[in-house]
Structure formats: C-alpha cells, structure tokens
C-alpha cells in the first residue's frame, strides 16, 4: 500500500502520496503555479537566502525506470514539487488506497479510467503534464518579468517555442536557448551560457531521466537560476514538431493509444507506461 505523508513548502501544504517508492504531490495545476509564484515571492523578500526550486513531472515510465535506478529515484523524491504526469499515476493512487485490492477491484479500477474518470481522482485530483504546465509558467515569468532559458530539444525547436510564446506573452523574455546535451563534460560550458543570460527560470528538455539528473547536478551551481524543471517533449509539442493526442483521447486517459496509432515505433515505451506499470502497481498492493 502506498504511504501518504504531509509535506510543506513555504506557505503551501500538500499531501505527498507514494507509488512504488516515488512521491507525488496531490495538487491542482493552478495551485502548482501559485506554489512557484509563492516561492519567488518568499525568495525576493529574503535575498540573502539562496533557495532553489526543482520541479519534476514523473510519469508511469519514469516510475518504472526509477525501480532499477536508485540515484534517479532519489533525485525524483528530493524535488520540491512532483506533478503526476499521467492518468496511470492517478489510477495507481486510487487503486492502492482501496480497502480491497484484488483482481476484480483491479479490473474495476482500470475500467474507471474511461467510464468513471472522477473516481480515480480521489487521492491525486488532477493530472499535471509538463506540456500543459510549461505555458502557464511562461505566463507567470512574463507577468513577473523574469527571464527564461530553454535547454534541450533539437536545433531550431527552442527558437520556434520562443517565437510562439513571446508573441503570446509580450512581456516574456526568453533570454537564452541552447540544444546542448546532458553530457557531464559539457555542463560547465552550459552553466556559463545560462549564467550569462541572467535567467531565473530554466526549462530542460533532455528527456527522462537525463534531464532530472542534469538539473540535480547543476541547479545549486547557477548564479541567477532559482527554478528549474524537466519537461521532456514539451518543446516539441509547442513548436509543432509533434502533435498531441486529440482532447477526447486525453480526457479518457487514452493518450497512449493515440501515440501507438500515430507512432508505432513508441510501442516499447507505451508497453512500459501501461502494462508493465499495471503489473508493478499490482505487486505493490500489499507493501
């Protein structure tokens, strides 16, 4: 059974629920943005205290990867905020908190993903994807006039993201972009580039677990960056390089099916995020 503990950061208190040893904050998307805003407000009022805010968005595939990678697991659990990126996470939090966790309730809970989606939101109320959270945090940066740096993705992708969102949010300043790589040998040069941009918010799109491990190694070393988040393929989606599943698929937790249809090459990853994840949660039911 998953453990539930209370955690508090600044003026916000949240419930952190654990699934296969990975913690998730039970919170709504708009509250997550307010949490980041509150962090910056507190940091501004106490300039001598150099705090950093690390946001992660674990999905079922990342939970599976963390089972064989204790360093990655530690990094995820050390983050200041962990969003539940995936309907599978919401389902797991619901199933693992049922009094009866047998094969019949397993099947019923899986059916609820499509036929009773509100039921699986009793523990974690909302799925928060990096793709959806990213523009809201950019809007926050524009409102507070805080500089942003985009790290990762293929050449030209970040430029498209910059153009799109600086048009959408006229006060937004994306002060730097770099494709880079998560290689340790390149970290010092990347840090110097980010420092010279004077960015306070850093978004990294190296893909998991590389992006989270990179942030964990480097966040404390930046001169101006106070907030960092690994957001996977968000750059690609917002640049139009990859299309998202239609809204109806996302509403019913079937985004994995859309990806399988549109990108058959992703089958191994989709298998991990669905069938292997369900198997992992089933094994967790008596822990």
Q: Do 210 and 153 contact (CB within 8 A), yes or no?
A: no
Q: Verify that 123 and 139 share a domain, yes or no.
A: no
Dihedral of alpha carbons 4, 77, 267, 264, sign: positive
Q: Verify that 177 and 37 share a domain, yes or no.
A: no
pLDDT of residue 3: 45
The number of domains in the chain is: 2
Q: Verify that 65 and 147 share a domain, yes or no.
A: no
Q: Verify that 38 and 176 share a domain, yes or no.
A: no
Q: Verify that 117 and 140 share a domain, yes or no.
A: no
Q: Verify that 68 and 94 share a domain, yes or no.
A: yes
pLDDT of residue 259: 66
Q: Which residues, including other chains, have CB under 8 Å from residue 52's CB and lie 6 or more apart?
A: 219, 220, 222, 225, 226, 227, 228
Q: Verify that 118 and 154 share a domain, yes or no.
A: no
Q: Verify that 93 and 20 share a domain, yes or no.
A: yes
* CATH at 203: 3.40.50.2300
Strands (E), 72-216: 81-82, 148-152, 174-178, 201-205
pLDDT of residue 111: 93
Residue numbers in the chain where pLDDT is lower than 70: 1-13, 45-49, 243-245, 249-254, 256-272
Q: Verify that 108 and 134 share a domain, yes or no.
A: no
Neighbours of 50 (CB within 10 A): 11
pLDDT of residue 254: 65
Provide the H-helix boundaries in the chain.
Answer: 29-45, 60-67, 70-78, 87-95, 103-115, 130-143, 157-168, 187-197, 210-218, 234-239, 247-251, 255-262, 267-271, 277-284
Q: Verify that 135 and 204 share a domain, yes or no.
A: yes
Domain of residue 73: give its range.
4-128+243-284
Cis peptide, bond prior to residue 209, ω within 30 of zero: yes
Tokens of 95: 């199933």
pLDDT of residue 42: 85
pLDDT of residue 287: 78
Final residue before a domain boundary, out of 218, 239, 260: 239
Q: Verify that 117 and 233 share a domain, yes or no.
A: no
């Amino acid at each position: 059974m998953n453990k539930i503990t209370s955690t508090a950061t600044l003026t916000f208190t949240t419930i952190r629920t654990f699934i296969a040893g990975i913690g998730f904050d039970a919170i709504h998307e708009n509250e997550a943005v307010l949490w980041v805003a509150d962090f910056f407000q507190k940091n501004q009022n106490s300039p001598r205290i150099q705090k950093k805010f690390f946001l992660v968005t674990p999905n079922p595939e990342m939970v599976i990867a963390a089972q064989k990678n204790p360093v990655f697991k530690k990094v995820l659990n050390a983050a200041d905020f962990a969003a539940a990126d995936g309907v599978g996470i919401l389902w797991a939090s619901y199933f693992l908190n049922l009094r009866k966790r047998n094969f019949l309730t397993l099947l019923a809970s899986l059916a609820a993903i499509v036929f009773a989606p509100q039921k699986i939101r009793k523990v974690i109320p909302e799925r928060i994807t990096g793709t959806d959270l990213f523009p809201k945090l950019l809007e926050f940066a524009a409102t507070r006039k805080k500089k942003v740096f985009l790290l990762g993705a293929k050449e030209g992708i970040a430029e498209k993201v910059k153009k799109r969102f600086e048009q959408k949010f006229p006060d937004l300043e994306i002060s730097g972009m770099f494709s880079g790589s998560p290689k340790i040998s390149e970290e010092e040069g990347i840090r110097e580039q980010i420092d010279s941009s004077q960015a306070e918010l850093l978004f990294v799109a190296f893909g998991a677990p590389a992006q989270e491990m990179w942030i964990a190694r480097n966040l404390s070393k930046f001169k101006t960056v106070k907030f960092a988040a690994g957001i996977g393929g968000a750059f690609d989606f917002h640049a139009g390089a990859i299309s998202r599943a239609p809204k109806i698929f996302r509403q019913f937790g079937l985004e994995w099916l859309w990806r399988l249809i549109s990108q058959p090459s992703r089958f191994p990853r989709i298998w991990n995020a669905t069938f292997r994840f369900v198997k992992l949660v089933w094994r967790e039911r008596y822990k």
